[in-house]
Structure 1
Amino acid sequence: MKTAIVWFKTDLRLQDNETLVKALSQSDQIIPVYCFDDSHFEITSYGFKKTGSFRVQFLIESLKDLDKNLRSLGSGLLILKGKPEVEISKIVLQYKAFKVFAKREVAYEEKQTEQLVQKELFKLRCEFETFSTSTLYHAEDLPFSIKDIPDVFTNFRKKIEKESTIRNIFDRPEHVNSIDIPEADYPTLDDLDLKFEAIDSRAAMHFKGGEDEANNRLKYYFFQTKKISSYKETRNGLVGSDYSSKFSAWLALGCISPRFIYHELKKYESNYGANESTYWLIFELLWRDFFRFMFKKHQSKMFQASGINSEKEIPKAISEKLIQNWVDGNTNEDFIDANMIELKLTGFMSNRGRQNVASYFCNDLKLDWRFGASYFEQQLIDYDECSNWGNWAYLAGVGNDPRENRYFNIEKQATLYDKDKSFRKLWLNN
Structure 2
Amino acid sequence: MFHQLSGKNVLILFHNDLRVMDNATLSKAAKLSRDGRLLLVYASSLMDILDNQNSQAAYHYDTMGVARQQFLQESLADLNTSLELLGNKLLHLHKTPTSPNTFMQLNELIEAQQVTDICVSQTADYYQNQIYVRLQNKHPQIRWHIETTATLFDELPLDDLPKSFTQFRKKIEADYDLLHAAQDIAICATPERLAPIPESLVDRCEYEYFFKAGEDNAQAISQQKQQSSNFKGGESNGLNHLKSYFNSDAPSTYKITRNALDEWTHSTKFSAWLANGSLSVNTILNRLRRYERDVIANDSTYWIWFELLRREYFYWYAVTHQQKLFWFKGIGQHTPSTQLDQKKLEQWRNGDTAYPIVNACMHQLKATGYMSNRGRQLVASCFIHELGLDWRYGATYFEQHLIDYDVASNWGNWQYLAGVGADPRGCRQFNLDKQTQQYDPNGKFIHQWQGVLKQDS
Mark the CA change 1:392 to 1:171 in structure 2 (over 3 Å): closer, same or farther. Answer: same
Contact 1:84-1:113 at 8 Å conserved across structures: no
Partner amino acid, structure 2, of 1:253: N
Mark the CA change 1:395 to 1:110 in structure 2 (over 3 Å): closer, same or farther. Answer: same
Show the 5 A alignment for 1:53-64.
53-64=66-77
Tell me the distance in 1 between the aligned counterparts of 2:107 and 2:172: 39
Tell me the distance in 2 between the aligned counterparts of 1:99 and 1:69: 22
- Residue 242 of structure 1 aligns to a residue whose secondary structure is helix
1:243 maps to which of 257, 266, 272: 266
Residue equivalent to 1:206: 230
- Residue 79 of structure 1 aligns to a residue whose secondary structure is strand
Contact 2:123-2:150 at 8 Å conserved across structures: no
Residue equivalent to 1:228: 251
Residue equivalent to 1:149: 161
Tell me the distance in 2 between the aligned counterparts of 1:11 and 1:34: 10
1:91 maps to which of 109, 120, 130: 109
1:343 to partner: Cα distance? 1.0
1:324-361 deviation digits (Å, cap 9, x = unpaired)? 11111111211111111111221111100000000111
Mark the CA change 1:374 to 1:216 in structure 2 (over 3 Å): closer, same or farther. Answer: same
Q: In the alignment, is residue 35 of structure 1 matched against residue 43 of structure 2?
A: yes
Show the 5 A alignment for 1:190-201.
196-201=223-228
Contact 2:69-2:217 at 8 Å conserved across structures: no
1:158-210 deviation digits (Å, cap 9, x = unpaired)? 11122136541112222112226755246734699887433224xxx431110
Contact 1:79-1:186 at 8 Å conserved across structures: no
1:138 maps to which of 140, 150, 154: 154
Partner amino acid, structure 2, of 1:4: V
Contact 1:104-1:130 at 8 Å conserved across structures: yes
Mark the CA change 1:384 to 1:190 in structure 2 (over 3 Å): closer, same or farther. Answer: closer
Q: In the alignment, is residue 217 of structure 1 matched against residue 217 of structure 2?
A: no
Tell me the distance in 1 between the aligned counterparts of 2:177 and 2:23: 19
Contact 2:18-2:235 at 8 Å conserved across structures: yes
1:20 to partner: Cα distance? 0.8
Residue equivalent to 2:323: 300
Q: In the alignment, is residue 158 of structure 1 matched against residue 173 of structure 2?
A: no
Contact 2:41-2:90 at 8 Å conserved across structures: yes
Show the 5 A alignment for 1:279-298.
279-298=302-321
- Residue 100 of structure 1 aligns to a residue whose secondary structure is strand
Residue equivalent to 1:383: 405
1:358 maps to which of 380, 383, 389: 380
1:15 to partner: Cα distance? 0.8
Show the 5 A alignment for 1:46-85.
46=59, 48-49=61-62, 51-81=64-94, 83=101, 85=103
Tell me the distance in 1 between the aligned counterparts of 2:322 and 2:219: 28
1:2 maps to which of 5, 8, 16: 8
- Residue 119 of structure 2 aligns to a residue whose secondary structure is strand
Segment of structure 1 superposing worse, 46-55 or 125-134: 46-55
Partner amino acid, structure 1, of 2:246: F
1:103 maps to which of 117, 121, 140: 121
Tell me the distance in 1 between the aligned counterparts of 2:143 and 2:216: 34
- Residue 39 of structure 2 aligns to a residue whose secondary structure is strand
1:128 to partner: Cα distance? 1.6
Contact 2:46-2:131 at 8 Å conserved across structures: no
Contact 1:121-1:128 at 8 Å conserved across structures: no
Identity of aligned residues (%): 39
Residue equivalent to 2:455: none
Contact 1:390-1:399 at 8 Å conserved across structures: yes
Tell me the distance in 2 between the aligned counterparts of 1:399 and 1:66: 35
Mark the CA change 1:165 to 1:32 in structure 2 (over 3 Å): closer, same or farther. Answer: farther
Instruction: Note the residue ranges of structure 1 that are not aligned, 5 or more in a row.
Output: none
Tell me the distance in 1 between the aligned counterparts of 2:161 and 2:8: 40
Mark the CA change 1:283 to 1:84 in structure 2 (over 3 Å): closer, same or farther. Answer: farther
1:117 to partner: Cα distance? 1.5
Displaced runs of 4+ in structure 1, greater than 6 A? Answer: 40-43, 190-195
Q: TM-score, normalised by structure 2?
A: 0.86
Q: In the alignment, is residue 411 of structure 1 matched against residue 439 of structure 2?
A: no
Residue equivalent to 1:426: 448
1:78 to partner: Cα distance? 1.4
Tell me the distance in 1 between the aligned counterparts of 2:451 and 2:341: 28
Q: TM-score, normalised by structure 1?
A: 0.91
Mark the CA change 1:80 to 1:187 in structure 2 (over 3 Å): closer, same or farther. Answer: farther
Question: Which has more radius of gyration?
Answer: 2
1:382 to partner: Cα distance? 1.0
Provide the aligned length of Structure 1 versus Structure 2. 419
1:31 to partner: Cα distance? 1.6
- Residue 6 of structure 1 aligns to a residue whose secondary structure is strand
Partner amino acid, structure 2, of 1:108: Y
- Computed over aligned residues only, the root mean square deviation of the Cα atoms, in angstroms, reads 2.3
- Residue 209 of structure 1 aligns to a residue whose secondary structure is coil
Mark the CA change 1:196 to 1:134 in structure 2 (over 3 Å): closer, same or farther. Answer: farther
Tell me the distance in 1 between the aligned counterparts of 2:143 and 2:103: 13
Contact 1:12-1:62 at 8 Å conserved across structures: yes
Residue equivalent to 1:172: 190
Mark the CA change 1:106 to 1:192 in structure 2 (over 3 Å): closer, same or farther. Answer: farther
1:277 to partner: Cα distance? 1.1
- Residue 32 of structure 1 aligns to a residue whose secondary structure is strand
Residue equivalent to 2:278: 255
Contact 1:43-1:49 at 8 Å conserved across structures: no
